[in-house]
């Protein structure tokens, strides 16, 4: 069984900012897209990356999917 973890990122291309904020373990029995949207809203994160692992300890992660949320992008110029 595969395990998934979502990592939220704060991104501002104008200021050269790209940093991870929080990690969330996903419930594989629930809708992944809905969970990711909730994490992005909670952290005001324009980017969320979901990684998958075949181990419950998340030793070896591979990128599963990347989500971008325009509504949370910074508007600085």
Residue 28 has what pLDDT?
86
Rounded to an integer, the average pLDDT of 7-15 is: 88
The pLDDT value given to residue 13: 78
pLDDT digit string (tens) for 52-72? 998 777 778 999 999 999 999
Strand pairing class (47-53; 17-25): unpaired
Give residue-wise pLDDT tens across range 25-54.
999 899 999 999 999 999 999 999 999 998
- Which long-range contacts link 40-44 to residues 24+ away (Cβ below 8 Å)? 40/8, 40/67, 40/69, 40/72, 41/72, 43/8, 43/10, 44/72
- Decide the pairing of beta strands 47-53 and 3-12: antiparallel
Beta bridge partners of 3: 53
Q: In the chain, what are the domain boundaries?
A: 3-72
């Amino acid at each position: 069984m595969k395990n998934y973890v979502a990592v939220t990122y704060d991104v501002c291309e104008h200021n050269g900012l790209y940093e991870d904020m929080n990690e969330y373990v996903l419930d594989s029995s629930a809708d992944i897209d809905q969970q990711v949207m909730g994490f992005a809203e909670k952290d005001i994160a324009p980017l969320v990356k979901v990684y998958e692992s075949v181990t419950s300890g998340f030793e070896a992660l591979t990128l599963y999917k990347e989500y971008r949320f325009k509504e949370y992008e910074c508007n600085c110029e």
